[in-house]
Structure formats: C-alpha cells, structure tokens
Amino acid sequence: MVTLLVLVFRIFLNYSFTGNSTIIETMKKNIFLMTALLVAGLFGVAVAQSNPFGNAASAYTLPTFTKNNKGEPVLYWTEKDAANVLSLFFAVSNDGGKSFGDKKLIFASPLMGSSRLMRPKLLFKKDGSMAAVFSFRNEVAAPAVEEGGHANHDKPAAPAPKPKRDLQIRYTVSKDNGQSWTAPASVDSDTSRLTRGFFDAVVLANDEIAVAYLKDVKGSTKHEERDLRMVITKNGVFQPEKVIDPVVCDCCNISLLVDNKGVLNVFYRDNNDDIRDIARMTSANNGSTWTKPEILHDDKWEIKGCPHSGATSVATQNGALVTWFSGAAVQAGVRLATTDGHLLKVLNANAKNGTVTADDKQAFFVWEQTTEGGASRILYSKVAGGKAQDDQVLKGSDYGQNATTLLANGKLLIAHEVAKPNQKTALSVRVVE
C-alpha cells in the first residue's frame, strides 16, 4: 500500500515538470481521490483484518476463544499432521487480539478427539493455574483369534468380539503458564469401557472446576442411551460423578456457564417422548443441588433420532444469551434467546453453528451461513437493547466455518476455520472494527 502511494506521487511529480497546467490540475484531483480511497481502505472501509493460522503440512481446526486470569484474549485450537497426530495448542494476545504470541503445546496424540460437538476446553482459574479438558479414545488391541483344535481343524475360528468403545474425557493441569502440563487423567473415576462425551467444562465461582457430559447407561438394550452427569473438583481433585438428568438426548453438546451472580447454568437437549428441546437447570451452590429442568423455549421439535446439535451460551450483564438449532414445524432454524425464553432472532435454514459473546455493554451473535453456491461464510449481529440488529457479513470469510468469538476491550474478535476445496483447513483470526 505504501509503495502504491509513493508511485502516485512520482506520477504527480513527473506531470508537474511538463508545464501543462490542465494536466497538472487533473492529476491533482485524481491523486486526491486515489489517496482518499487508499486511506479509507487502510483505516475505515476494511471491517476486519485477517491473521491466518495454518500451513500446508497440517490441518487447523476447532478454534476457540477464552480469556486468561488477566483478562487477555487467548486462542486455542487443534492441528493434525501428516501422521494423524492431533495437537492442542494455545496462544495469548497482549494487545486485545490484534496479534498473538508464540503458540504453546498442551497435549498431542492420535487418540485425542476432534469433533465440533466435543471441542477441547481451556480454563483459567483465579489463582493463575490452567486446566485443559478434551475427549480421548482409549483404544485397546482386539483379542487374538484362537486357533481351532485338531477336532475342528476344518472349521474356521469364530471372529473375536470387538472391544467395547471407550471414549473418555481427560484433563491436564499447568501451574507455570502453560510451559509444562501434568499427565492427562480421566475426569471420571469409573473405569468401565463406556462412551463419555458431548461435554463442557467451566470454572465455578469458588474456583473449582465442573465438567458436564453424557455417559452410556450401563446395561441399556437401546442403540444409544445416555444420561447427563457432572463431576466437580474439590481442592483440585475430581470427586465421583453425579447423575443430574437421567433421560436426555443422546448426542447433543452441552453448554455450561457461570452467570454474573455466580449461579451455575447447564443447557442441554432434553428428550421427552422424542420431543427434543433445549432444557436448563441451575445451581446456586456450585453444583451441590439443582433446580428441576425447565424447557428454555417450547419448540416442540419431535424427531426420532438425535440431531447432533446442542446449545452454546454466554453470560450477560442481566442474565445470559443462548443459541441452538431447532427443526420445529414453526420457525425452524438457529435461535437466539434469553434465559427467560424470549426469542431475539431466528435464522433461516442455511444458517448453522451459532455462537455468542458478551461484555458489560454489548453482545454479538455469530454464525455460519451457506451461500447459494454451496460455500459457507461467517455472519454476525450485534445485540443491544434486547434486540438483535441487522446481519453483517464478515468480509473475507469465504469458506469459513466453526466460528468462535470474543469481546475484548470493546472489540469483536472472530476466529474460524477456512475450509477451501482441495486444501488443508486453516484458521483466520480477525478484529472487527
């Protein structure tokens, strides 16, 4: 841009020495216009500046924003290399999200999960320690097939049964700003080979950590049957799990938040005779006891199977905002609502993967929209005065998906995957002016 400005002024000087006043005046007007446009492009017109994360060797996925105990923006994400090893990294911004420092490795394994329904979670406690929570496939070798004896040498041996799937939720802790991490351990002391997933984790008002997840019901004869459970640390050590709702939708991600009053909220998709709407429970004593589940908004979405789509939420000055998808017969689409069930916005059928952010003064709703050509891009809407304002397209977000967002010092940060055809997925990080 600077080079182009220099070139413009060189042209002006060249014409100035020709002695033709008409040409000179014309060039002055043109140069003024070009300079104004260039300056506008530098300082006003561009609504976002891209800071891509990615290279041709690895696939970058699941970007997620949070803040550390100093209030600084933190971005964490996963990278998968050519050997299918998944690495969880994080980086801290000291300038409100305009740039990020060197990335630091949390954990790496080919068995770490990478589903958008089970995003890793990086937590910062008031004492400065950090905890990372992620899903992990605890694979074991299949039993060896026994050879048939002499009496039945002409019969093929029966195939060995496959070991039962064991999906764990593990956590690791750092007390030196992420320089080193403890060996990951399961949050659940039950060693049974079961699926535990679709989790969320949060730091409680008392600086302990809570993790909510769906877990296989032992002995169930159904194809999939899971209940909603929670584990909470005591002095940093996870205590035995508790069932907080025995009948829920089987495969929809959970959202936890602690509101400005210190109340713990859990949002999840309930299942009442195949009516699968978003429910909410609260605890005013850090998860010791819970209110009865209440449906957030009576969508009455009846569906025989799990839609694999849960809720996300954020605490606001006066409560919380929650977004989720419903395929209800009336107003199907991604919803944005308050905790009293008041709908602020319902997006059309081409929208998905909504997320929200808020500070003391404002809130933003961010989502992924499929275009007519089939590609996706990122849109956002400001929420103020109890209303969601007009949709805005995040410029330069073509092929964007799985967005995350954060308000930092009054600025809106948006990061998302960039999934271009025939290329490995990269990340784009933006500050919206």
pLDDT at 245: 98
Counts of helices then strands in the chain (DSSP H, E): 2, 30
pLDDT at 221: 73
Instruction: Say which DSSP state 84 is in.
Output: -
pLDDT in tens, the chain (433 residues): 433 333 333 333 343 434 444 444 444 444 444 444 333 333 333 345 455 576 778 999 999 999 999 999 999 999 999 999 999 999 999 999 999 999 999 999 999 999 999 999 999 999 899 999 999 999 865 554 444 444 444 555 555 555 578 999 999 999 999 999 999 999 999 999 999 999 999 999 999 999 999 999 987 777 788 999 999 999 999 999 999 999 999 999 999 999 999 999 999 999 999 999 999 999 999 999 999 999 999 999 999 999 999 999 999 998 999 999 999 999 999 999 999 999 999 999 899 999 999 999 999 999 999 988 889 999 999 999 889 999 999 999 999 999 999 999 999 999 999 999 999 999 999 999 7
pLDDT at 18: 41
Cβ atoms 171, 132 nearer than 8 A: yes
DSSP E strands, 318-399: 319-326, 333-338, 343-346, 351-358, 363-370, 376-384, 387-388, 392-393
Cβ atoms 406, 394 nearer than 8 A: no
DSSP E strands, 129-283: 130-137, 167-174, 185-186, 196-203, 209-216, 226-234, 237-238, 242-245, 255-258, 264-269, 278-283
- Integer Cα distance of 359 and 408 in angstroms: 8
pLDDT at 298: 96
Amino acid at 32: F
- Integer Cα distance of 283 and 267 in angstroms: 12
Q: For residue range 163-195, what is the model confidence (pLDDT) as tens digits?
A: 578 999 999 999 999 999 999 999 999 999 999
The two beta strands, 426-432 and 48-50, are antiparallel
* H or E stretch at 27: helix 21-43
The total of other beta-carbon atoms located within 10 Å of residue 306's CB is 19
Backbone φ, ψ for residue 380 (5° rounding): -150, 160
pLDDT at 20: 47
pLDDT at 143: 52
* H or E stretch at 75: strand 73-80
HEC string of 34-46 equals HHHHHHHHHHCCC
Q: For residue range 207-264, what is the model confidence (pLDDT) as tens digits?
A: 999 999 999 998 777 778 899 999 999 999 999 999 999 999 999 999 999 999 999 9
